[in-house]
Structure 1
Amino acid sequence: MGEEEAVAEENGGVKVDDSVEQASSWPTMRFDVSPYRTHHFSKQFRTARNPNNFLKGLKWSPDGSCFLASSEDNTLSLFYLPQDGGDSNSYGVSIPEEDSYGASLLVNEGESVYDFCWYPYMSVSDPLTCVFATSTRDHPIHLWDSSSGELRCTYRAYDAMDEITAAFSIGFNPDGTKIFAGYNSSIRVFDLHRPGRDFGQYSTLQRNKEGQAGILSTLAFSPTNSGMLAVGSYGQTTGIYREDNMELLYVLHGQEGGVTHVQFSKDGNYLYTGGRKDPYILCWDMRKSVEIVYKLYRATENTNQRVFFDIEPSGRHLGTGGEDGLVHMYDLQTGNWVSGYQAASDTVNAFSFHPYLPMAATSSGHRRFAIPDDDDEEDKNDVQLKADENCVSLWSFYVSSEEKNACDGNDNGNGVEA
C-alpha cells in the first residue's frame, strides 16, 4: 500500500500552472508545409507467431518524455523520445526497413486492451508519478509502473454475480485523485488512494429509461476545472455530467455510429466527438448545446476501428487520421480543412500532438486475413506487410521562422522548456 498511497499523494508532482505557461508559449506550427518523419517503428511489432500484429492507438505522456502504444497482441510498448527531440535535421527520414530504436518497456496484458491512460501529473523526474492505467477484457483496472513495468495495484469492479467485470473506458480526473471507469450503462469511480474493490457506482440510465444506455466507450474531462465530464456511448449518444456527483446535465444526439472518442477544446467551451463507421467529427458548443456547430470529415465510414484525433496544445487546430492513410488538419475557429499529408499506406487509427514540442505521433494498421492457397506452403499464406503498414511514426512540423530560434533556445531536450 505504501507505493500506491505515494502515487496519489504525489499528484502535485508537476504544477498545473507550469504546464499552462508552457502551452501558452507553444510555437506556431506551419500546416501549409507537410511535416517530416523523424522516427519510424514497424518491425518490432511483428513476430513469427503474430506477423500481422497491428497498432490500436498511442498516447504521449503528460511530460512529453515518452509515448505509449497499444497493439493487437495485448501488449503496450513504451518509447522514450531521444534527447535531441528527434529533430536532427529538417529533411526527415525515408521509410526505413529497420526501426529507429527499440521500445524501452513492454507490458503484456492477458486479454485485449480496451483503454489506457497516463497519470495526469506524470513526470519522468519523479519516479513515483510514472504510472499509467489500463483496462483489459475480463480483468480489473491495472496501474502500471512505467519505469520498471511492475504492476503497482489493481482496482476491481464486480457485477451482480460477484464476478470481475472489465471497464470499457478509463480516465483520471484532473486532480489525479480518482479513476473514472465506464461500463455498461454505469460509471464506477475509484479512489486512487484505495486500491481494491471499493468504488462509487452511478447509473447513467434512469428508471424512466432516460439518460445514457449502452457501453460507455470513452470519457474526457474539461481542461478548465469546470467539473464537467463527457462520456460517449455505443448507443450513439454523448452525456455531459458533473464530476462531483455524476449528475446528468444533458445528452447530445447526432452521431451516426457508436461514440468512440470525445475531447474538449482547450478553453472547455467546445466538445468534439467521433464515432464508429461515422465519417464526421462533430463540434458542440457547451454553452448552448442544442445543435452541431460544424462537422469535420475523415475517412472512417468503412472501418470498425476506433480512430483517435487530437487538438494541438495551443487549441487552434485538430488533427485526425482515417482509413485512407491520410492525416487531415482542421482550423477549429472556422471548421475549415487546412492541409493533409500521407502518414501510412493503411488505416491511421491514432494521431497525437506532443504536449510541448512541434511534433506528433501516428499509429496505423488493421486486421488482415491471408488468402488460403492449397498449392502454397503454410508460411506463404502470411500477408506480406510493407514498412509503412502496421507502424508508428514520429513527425516534426515546421514552425514560423520568427519563433524557431526562441523555440530552439528554450528547449532543454526533454520537451519541457527551461
Structure 2
Amino acid sequence: MDLDEIPQSSALKEAGDTEQAASAATAPVHSIHDSASDTHSTPQQGQDSCTQMQAESSGGWEDWQSGTYHLFECRFDLSTRENDNGIVKSYTTGEAFNSTVGQSRLQMGIRGDDQKMTNGRENNFFKALKWSPDGTCLLSSSNDNFLRIFALPDATTTTPEDTPLSAGCVIKEGEVVYDMCWYPGMNSADPATCCVLSSSRDHPIHLWDAYSGELRCSYTVTDHCDVNVAPTALCFNLDGSKIYCGSNNMIEIFDTTRPGRDSLKRPTVPTRKSRKGQKGVISCLAFNPDHSDLYAAGSYLKTIGLYDARADELLMLLRDRGSPFSSSTSNATKTTTTITTNNKETETGTRRQKTDMGGVTQLQFSHDGQYLYSASRQDSWIRCWDIRNTAQVLYRLERPGEVTNQRIGFDVSYDGRWLSTGDMNGDISVFDLSCPQDPQVERLKARIRGHDDVVSAAMFHPSGAILATCSGQRKYDLALDSSSSSGSDSSDSSDSEDDGEKMGNGVFKGLSGASKAVVNVVENSVRLWSLPGESVWYVNGQRWGESGMGATDTADPSPLAGSSDVDGTQKDSTPVGAAPVEAQDQGT
C-alpha cells in the first residue's frame, strides 16, 4: 500500500515533506531513538578483518549482514519468586488518574459535562493498552472516553523515580470507546503513518493523527435504517490497506484510502433466524501473521470463526463446551491449576471448576500462524487452539477472571515464547508457550503482584525487554452494599459491549478462596516493567555462541568484535524506556 494514500490531517498536508511535518506538530513521541525502536537491529559495517572474512566465506558480506540480528530473550526462574522472578518496576503514571470520570473531564477543561454524563461518578479506570508497532509509545483508552498516547521515556537521561509517565497526546472521543488499534505500518520517523483508529458508541469510526490528535477522516457504519452503528471490534489487515469492523452478525470492510460510507458488508449468518454461520456481536478480530489471508472473529455468543479474507467465507467455527476437571482434561491444565490454586481445596471439598468458554473478548495468533489464543469474559482460562490440524484446544492457561465481564488483555511476546496477562486479583502472570503439543510442560513461569486493582492489560514491548500494564475497574464513589451489588450484576448472556465491563460487585473471590475487598482501593495507572533476560545475536538463523558458531572459552555475546561492553552486554541492545541498568542486572 502506498503510504501517500493514507488520509492525512491538514496540518501534515501543509507541512509538505516529512521533516517539516515532524517539526510543526507536537509529537507525542519526542524522546525517540531509532536504534531502540527497531525490534531487529542490523549491525553496522566497520568490523574487524576476522569477522568480515568469516562473513565473506559464507556467501558474501551483504548476505551475512542481512541475516545477522539480535533479540532480547527473557529468562524467568521459578527459584527467584521472592524477587518477583526478576521483574523490576520501572516508570509509572502514579496516582495521576485516581479520580472519577467527572473529575478527569474537569481537569481536561470540559466544564459542565460532569453533571450530564451518566458515568460521571464512576471510577476513571484504564480499559486497554497497546504498544505502537515501532515500540516508541503506548496507546490507552480509559473510562472518561479519552485516548492517550504515552511516550516511552529515555532511560539514559531519566529515572523512574523522578520521571512519571505522562500523555503527550490526548484524543477526545464523543462516547464510550469500544475498540482502538494502531496503523500496522506506523513509524515515528514518518508522520504520515502515525495514526490510530477508534470506535465509540453511536459515532463513525475515527482515524486520528497520533502527533497532533487531529481527526484525519471517518468511516461510517450504518444499519438497514441508515442509523450510525459503532463497531465493537476494529482491525487493520496486515498491510493496512483494509479496515475490518465487527458488529451484530456482521463484518464490514473499508478501504483505508476511501473514507466515508463505501464498504463491503459481509453477514456472518445467512439470515437472522438461520442456525448456520456465526451468530452474535463480533467482539474481536485478529489476522494471521503468516500472510495466508486468514483471520479470526470472536463472538459474545461463545464462538470463534475462522474466515478466508480472499473468498470472504467462513471456514471453521470453534467452540469449547468445556468439562469439569477429570482424566480428560489436559495435564498442562492440571499442572497450572496445581501451581496457582492446588485445585482450590475448600471446606466443602474440592471444587471442580468447569472450563466452558464465555463470550470471547480477545484473539491473537501465534507468530508462526499455527495456533490461536483466545480469552473470554466470565472465564478463568486463556485457550490455545490448534487451527492447522485438530481445531481443538491444546491446553488452557489459568488466570482468575471468572466473575468479571471486564476485558482483561493478554499478549504474546515477539519471539512467540511467552504470554503475559493480568487478572482480576491484580497479579501479572507469564506463561511458557514452547512445545505446545507437549501436555507435560509446566506453563506458568512467573506470577507477581502488579497492581492493587484489576490488571486490565499486560503487553510486551516489541523488543521483548519491557512489559506494560494498566489497571482499574468500574467503581462508584458510593458505598456499595450486598443488596445494591446483587441487583447490578451483569449476566454472561448479555450481548452488549457497555454491559461487558460492569462489575456491580465490589468484592472479588479469587481462585485461592481468599476474598479480596477492592471496592475501597482505587488504582488507575499505567506501569512499565523491566524483564529479566539478555540480548542474543543470531547469525544465519543460529544463535551466536552455540557449538560451531563463535563458541569460545569466554564467549563473546556479539559476532562483531569490539561492539560489546566490558560486562558482555550490547551497547545498543537496551531499548529506550527500559529500567536503569542497575535494576536490570538485579533481574538477571
TM-score (norm 1): 0.86
Whole-Å separation in 2 of the counterparts to 1:85 and 1:349: 29
CA gap of 1:414–1:322, structure 2 versus 1, over 3 A, is closer
Whole-Å separation in 2 of the counterparts to 1:348 and 1:410: 29
Contact 1:325 1:342 in 2 (8 A): yes
CA gap of 1:177–1:414, structure 2 versus 1, over 3 A, is farther
Q: What is aligned with 1:376?
A: none
5 Å matches for 1:130-149? 130-149=194-213
Q: Give the drift of 1:25.
A: 3.0
1:26 aligns with 2:77: no
Q: What is aligned with 2:554?
A: none
- In structure 2, which of residues 415, 418, 426 is the aligned counterpart of residue 325 of structure 1? 426
1:344 aligns with 2:478: no
Contact 2:151 2:168 in 1 (8 A): yes
Whole-Å separation in 2 of the counterparts to 1:263 and 1:230: 8
What is the root-mean-square deviation in Å for CA atoms of aligned residues? Answer: 2.8
CA gap of 1:85–1:257, structure 2 versus 1, over 3 A, is farther
Contact 1:252 1:289 in 2 (8 A): no
Q: What is aligned with 2:132?
A: 61
CA gap of 1:4–1:210, structure 2 versus 1, over 3 A, is farther
Q: What amino acid sits opposite 1:166 in the alignment?
A: A
- In structure 2, which of residues 411, 415, 435 is the aligned counterpart of residue 314 of structure 1? 415
SS at match of 1:84: coil
- In structure 1, which of residues 186, 202, 206 is the aligned counterpart of residue 266 of structure 2? 202
Q: What is aligned with 1:190?
A: 254
Structure 1 or 2: more helix by fraction: 2
Task: Name which of structure 1's ranges 278-287 and 22-31 shifts more when overlaid on structure 2.
Answer: 22-31
Q: What is aligned with 2:487?
A: none
Q: What amino acid sits opposite 1:341 in the alignment?
A: I
CA gap of 1:232–1:335, structure 2 versus 1, over 3 A, is farther
CA gap of 1:125–1:414, structure 2 versus 1, over 3 A, is farther
Aligned residues: 389
Q: What is aligned with 2:280?
A: 214
Whole-Å separation in 2 of the counterparts to 1:384 and 1:50: 18
5 Å matches for 1:3-402? 5-7=5-7, 25-32=70-77, 33-47=85-99, 49-50=102-103, 52-84=123-155, 100-207=164-271, 208-254=274-320, 256-333=357-434, 334=441, 336-372=443-479, 385=521, 389-400=523-534
Q: What amino acid sits opposite 2:403 in the alignment?
A: N
Q: What amino acid sits opposite 1:237 in the alignment?
A: T
Structure 1 or 2: more strand by fraction: 1
SS at match of 1:128: helix
Whole-Å separation in 2 of the counterparts to 1:38 and 1:248: 44
CA gap of 1:317–1:167, structure 2 versus 1, over 3 A, is same
Task: Name which of structure 1's ranges 207-216 and 67-76 shifts more when overlaid on structure 2.
Answer: 207-216
SS at match of 2:192: helix
Contact 1:177 1:191 in 2 (8 A): yes
Q: Which has the larger radius of gyration?
A: 2
Identity of aligned residues (%): 40
Q: What stretches of structure 1 of length at least 5 have no aligned partner?
A: 374-382
SS at match of 1:212: coil
Q: Give the drift of 1:409.
A: 2.8
CA-to-partner distance for each residue in 1:365-418, whole Å, 9 max, x for gaps?
011133459xxxxxxxxx8655xx111100111214876844443457489xxx
Whole-Å separation in 2 of the counterparts to 1:309 and 1:86: 31
SS at match of 1:251: strand
Task: Name which of structure 1's ranges 240-249 and 44-53 shifts more when overlaid on structure 2.
Answer: 44-53
Contact 1:272 1:282 in 2 (8 A): yes
CA gap of 1:58–1:400, structure 2 versus 1, over 3 A, is same
Task: Name which of structure 1's ranges 203-212 and 155-164 shifts more when overlaid on structure 2.
Answer: 203-212
Contact 2:127 2:141 in 1 (8 A): yes
CA-to-partner distance for each residue in 1:133-187, whole Å, 9 max, x for gaps?
0010101110000000000000001111111111100010001101000010110
Contact 1:4 1:192 in 2 (8 A): no
CA-to-partner distance for each residue in 1:112-138, whole Å, 9 max, x for gaps?
000000000101100000001001010
CA gap of 1:133–1:212, structure 2 versus 1, over 3 A, is same
CA gap of 1:370–1:152, structure 2 versus 1, over 3 A, is same
Whole-Å separation in 1 of the counterparts to 2:156 and 2:269: 46
Q: What amino acid sits opposite 1:249 in the alignment?
A: L
Whole-Å separation in 1 of the counterparts to 2:270 and 2:450: 44
CA gap of 1:413–1:307, structure 2 versus 1, over 3 A, is closer
Q: Give the drift of 1:243.
A: 1.4
Task: Name which of structure 1's ranges 241-250 and 204-213 shifts more when overlaid on structure 2.
Answer: 204-213
Contact 1:87 1:396 in 2 (8 A): no
CA gap of 1:329–1:161, structure 2 versus 1, over 3 A, is same
CA gap of 1:384–1:256, structure 2 versus 1, over 3 A, is closer
Q: What stretches of structure 2 of length at least 5 have no aligned partner?
A: 9-17, 19-33, 43-67, 78-84, 105-122, 321-355, 435-440, 481-518, 537-556, 558-566, 579-588
SS at match of 1:50: helix
CA gap of 1:149–1:4, structure 2 versus 1, over 3 A, is farther
SS at match of 2:572: helix
